Amino acid sequence: MADQLKNRLPDVGVEITVIKTKGDIMQDVSLAKIGGKGIFVKEIEDALLRGDIDLAVHSMKDVPVDLPDNLEIGITTEREDPRDVLISKDNRQLEDMPHGARIGTGSLRRGFQLRNLYPSIEIVPLRGNLDTRIRKIETENLDGIVVAAAGMKRIGWGDRISQFIPLDTMLPSIGQGVLGIELRKDDTDIKHALAFINHLETWVETAAERAFLKRLGGGCQLPIAAYGKKQGENLKLKGLLGSLDGRIMIRDEIEGSCDDAEMMGARLADTILSRGGRAILRMVYESCPDNRC
């Protein structure tokens, strides 16, 4: 992002400020136990509200659907590969894994879908940055790990990928592969200056996915996935909700005009709620009344 700004706006000084968030620091605790809402963005948003920084760059899959009143996601970049990938011993594919194979992931969404596809697989909770997780294949005696393709490609480690998991097999997280720029709402000059970075196709897709997540309750730590794909003037959106025990998967899709992206996301969520999703959410809220589920 900094390079794009420097190239397009050479007269503007660009300085990168690294801010470690709660999610970055607490890598020995599962996301479900920490509480999933904003743990990768809150400290960055606080710096933005104080005026310490002028814009924040987030992975959109980490951004809650409800933002502070004075902030907004003003820009979404062109989406990188939205798929999940497998990094494994001996370059094995998922379908070639032995009975009882140990697969590492810190994502309820990934673990849920893996267990539904391959019931014999053992899911091993995993946190940390990419090099830490890859190293744990050896140190934790794992058969493989599942991570986002976007991170591997951006860091230049595409050659380490054993398998790109098809989207029909594993739906991605909301906003996976998308970088979002968060701004103060009154910084209209900055938003206008950055407009060249905004990718309309990605903006529409992400809007539908986030509307789907918002209607399902936002930050609850449940297996939730969605993927929107713009096709000409139309948008196709697929969504999934699973139960915490891994026994129930509700999956559906919708297609319509890109102009109705957010409405489509909410409508798809309503369909899933009517097919049993409300009962799943009710069980979660009853066991986790403060919504730190």
Q: How far apart are CA 104 and CA 20, in angstroms?
A: 24
Q: Does domain 199-286 have CATH number 3.30.230.10?
A: no
207-212-216-221 Cα dihedral, nearest 10 degrees: -70
Contact 136, 128 (CB under 8 A): yes
Q: How far apart are CA 145 and CA 137, in angstroms?
A: 7
**Edge-to-edge strands of the sheet including 234-242?**
224-231, 234-242, 249-257
Contact 114, 103 (CB under 8 A): yes
Start and end residues for every CATH 3.40.190.10 domain found in the chain: 1-77+178-198, 84-165
62 is catalytic: yes
Q: How far apart are CA 211 and CA 205, in angstroms?
A: 10
Contact 202, 178 (CB under 8 A): yes
pLDDT digits (tens, 9 = 90+) for 6-24: 999 999 899 999 998 766 6
Residue 227: its H or E element: strand 224-231
pLDDT digits (tens, 9 = 90+) for 157-215: 999 999 999 999 999 999 999 999 999 999 999 999 999 999 999 999 999 999 999 99
Contact 187, 68 (CB under 8 A): no
Which three-class secondary structure state does DSSP give residue 256? strand
- The packing angle between helices 261-272 and 200-215, to 10°, is 30
Q: Does domain 84-165 have CATH number 3.90.226.10?
A: no
In this predicted structure, what is the pLDDT of residue 136?
Answer: 94
Question: CATH topology for 1-77+178-198?
Answer: D-Maltodextrin-Binding Protein; domain 2 (3.40.190)
Which three-class secondary structure state does DSSP give residue 120? coil
In this predicted structure, what is the pLDDT of residue 50?
Answer: 95
Start and end residues for every CATH 3.30.160.40 domain found in the chain: 199-286
pTM: 0.90
Residue 182: its H or E element: strand 179-184
Q: How far apart are CA 269 and CA 132, in angstroms?
A: 35
Say which residues have a Cβ less than 8 Å from residue 9's Cβ, sequence separation at least 6.
193
In this predicted structure, what is the pLDDT of residue 27?
Answer: 54
Which segments in the chain show pLDDT lower than 70?
22-37, 218-220, 285, 287-293
Annotated catalytic residue within 24, 46, 62, 252: 62
